[in-house]
Amino acid sequence: MVVIGEHRHTQVTVDLQAIKNNIQQEMQRKDALTELWAVVKANGYGHGIIQVAQAAKQAGATGFCVAILDEALALRAAGLTEPILVLGITEPEYAALIAEKRISVAVGSQEWLNQASAVLAANNVKIPLRVHLALDAGMGRIGFQQPADLAATVAQLRQANTLFDFEGIFTHFATADQSDDTYFMHQLAVWKKLIAVIGELPRYVHVSNSATSLWHQACNGNVVRFGVALYGLNPSGTALSAPYKLQPALSLTAQLTFVKRLAKGQSVSYGATYTAAQDEWIGTVPIGYADGYERRLQGFHVLVNGQFCEIVGRVCMDQLMVRLPHEVPVGTKVTLVGTDGDRTISLQDVADYCGTIHYEIACGLAPRVPRVYLD
Single-letter residue type at 219 = C
* Beta-strand relationship, 333-340 and 343-345: antiparallel
In this structure, the number of other CB atoms found within 10 A of the CB of residue 120 comes to: 23
Single-letter residue type at 153 = T
* Beta-strand relationship, 223-226 and 320-324: unpaired
Is 141 assigned to a binding site? yes
Task: Report the alpha-carbon distance of residue 11 to residue 322 in Å, rounded.
Answer: 18
- Residue 345 DSSP symbol: E
Instruction: Give the active site residues.
Output: 41, 270
Alpha helices by DSSP H, listed for the chain, are: 16-29, 41-45, 49-59, 69-77, 95-100, 110-122, 147-159, 182-195, 210-215, 347-354, 358-363
Is 317 assigned to a binding site? yes
C-beta separation of 60 from 38 below 8 A: no
C-beta separation of 85 from 106 below 8 A: yes
Task: Report the alpha-carbon distance of residue 53 to residue 17 in Å, rounded.
Answer: 13
Distance, C-alpha 71 to centroid of its chain? 13
Binding residues for substrate: 141, 317
Binding residues: 141, 317
